[in-house]
């Protein structure tokens, strides 16, 4: 059986999720395209054609021919995003007409959750993540553990015994959570997030390799690097203080204060925080 997947192009959320094509954006530690390919491989599909108009080379690199999933994958460049009907007219020889409606899909939602669109509004985006959270630990993933009801953690995460986790919440791999920090309910820390002691995260998403400073409070928001978006109002702001919010890796807005200044300030207050931060940065560099 052959399936055609149509990668989403521009959506209302594209302005924030600019680091990669929407099909490649990390969602609970893995991209939407990866979730779909895992789902299709488990459904007995053998061949997949992917149509992509937004940075198709990145889509092609992620798919890598399909060997990881035991699939034969071809990525075709498009000049715009096609609808399922347009894709059928253009590639009708690629699919069985009797099953075309089921074998051509726009992947703007998680597998099996078409009622939860991902890229229309921020509240729907957040709702889709929460709906997918119990399903995100797919069979091909390694190191995800449900440590308590509705609380998942990934590999190499350092969680202080004094931290509080309130489900549902998801902590990806290489996450650091300091003493007396609080996460949840309804919160997601993507891979490499670093949350300092005393910080509070409620009904929010902290993006990959994002630093949240000591005693910061993030509620009903999405934090990516130094960018903070309020899911309820849709307002977006760049946080100028890297002591509160910033990126830990290149590719995101850079903090205005260098890391040596940050480390010197931390060292004057708490030597253990400096050691934890260095270990976290080194671990991510090695990974």
Q: What is the pLDDT of residues 146-188, one digit of tens each?
A: 999 999 999 999 999 999 999 999 999 999 999 999 999 999 9
pTM of the predicted structure, to 2 decimals: 0.83
Residues contacting residue 97 through CB under 8 Å, at least 6 positions apart: none
Number of C-beta neighbours around residue 146 at 10 A: 12
Distance CA 206, CA 211 (A): 9
CB contact burial 221-249 (16+ within 10 A = b; e otherwise): bbbbbbbbbbbeeeeeeebeebbbbbbbe
Distance CA 24, CA 258 (A): 30
pLDDT, residue 12, reads 73
Distance CA 202, CA 82 (A): 37
- CATH T-level assignment (fold) for domain 145-286: UDP N-Acetylglucosamine Acyltransferase; domain 1 (2.160.10)
Residues of the chain with pLDDT under 50: 250-271, 273-274, 287
Distance CA 168, CA 170 (A): 7
CB contact burial 174-187 (16+ within 10 A = b; e otherwise): bbbbbbbbbbbebb
* Residue extents of the structural domains in the chain: 2-135, 145-286
Classified as helix, coil or strand, 41 is helix
pLDDT, residue 283, reads 53
Q: Is residue 270 within 8 Å of 160, Cβ to Cβ?
A: no
Classified as helix, coil or strand, 251 is coil
Distance CA 11, CA 275 (A): 41
Query: Euclidean distance between the first and final Cα of the chain, in Å?
Result: 36
Cα–chain center distance at 187: 12
H or E element in which residue 57 lies: helix 56-63
H or E element in which residue 131 lies: helix 122-132
Please say whether the dihedral angle defined by the alpha carbons of residues 24, 25, 30 and 31, taken in this order, is positive or negative: negative
Please say whether the dihedral angle defined by the alpha carbons of residues 235, 236, 242 and 247, taken in this order, is positive or negative: positive
In 136-270, which residue ranges form alpha helices assigned H by DSSP?
259-269
Q: What CATH homologous superfamily does 2-135 map to? A: Spore Coat Polysaccharide Biosynthesis Protein SpsA; Chain A (3.90.550.10)
Classified as helix, coil or strand, 228 is strand
pLDDT, residue 277, reads 56
Distance CA 188, CA 133 (A): 9
pLDDT, residue 275, reads 52
Residues contacting residue 203 through CB under 8 Å, at least 6 positions apart: 126, 185, 186, 187, 219, 220, 231
């Amino acid at each position: 059986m052959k399936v055609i997947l149509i990668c989403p192009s521009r959506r209302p959320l594209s302005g924030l999720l600019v680091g990669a094509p929407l099909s490649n954006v990390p969602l609970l530690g893995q991209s939407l395209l990866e979730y779909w390919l895992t789902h299709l491989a488990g459904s007995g599909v053998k061949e997949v054609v992917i149509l992509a108009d937004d940075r198709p080379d990145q889509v092609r690199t992620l798919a890598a021919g399909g060997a990881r999933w035991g699939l034969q994958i071809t990525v075709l460049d498009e000049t715009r995003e096609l609808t399922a009907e347009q894709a059928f007219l253009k590639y009708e020889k690629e699919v069985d007409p009797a099953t075309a409606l089921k074998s051509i899909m726009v992947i703007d939602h998680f597998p099996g959750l078409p009622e939860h669109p991902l890229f229309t509004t921020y509240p729907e985006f957040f709702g889709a993540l929460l709906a997918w959270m119990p399903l995100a630990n797919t069979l091909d993933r390694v190191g995800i553990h449900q440590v308590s009801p509705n609380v998942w953690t990934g590999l190499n995460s350092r969680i202080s015994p004094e931290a509080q986790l309130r489900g549902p919440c998801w902590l990806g791999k290489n996450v650091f959570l300091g003493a007396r920090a609080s996460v949840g309910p309804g919160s997601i820390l993507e891979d490499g997030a670093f949350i300092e002691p005393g910080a509070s995260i409620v009904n929010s998403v902290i993006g990959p390799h994002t630093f949240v400073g000591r005693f910061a409070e993030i509620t009903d928001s999405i934090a990516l690097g130094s960018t903070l978006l309020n899911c309820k109002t849709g307002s977006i702001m760049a946080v100028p203080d890297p002591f509160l919010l910033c990126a830990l890796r290149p590719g995101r807005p850079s903090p205005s204060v260098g890391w040596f200044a940050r480390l010197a300030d931390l060292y004057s207050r708490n030597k253990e925080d400096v050691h934890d931060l260095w270990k976290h940065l080194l671990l991510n560099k090695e990974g």
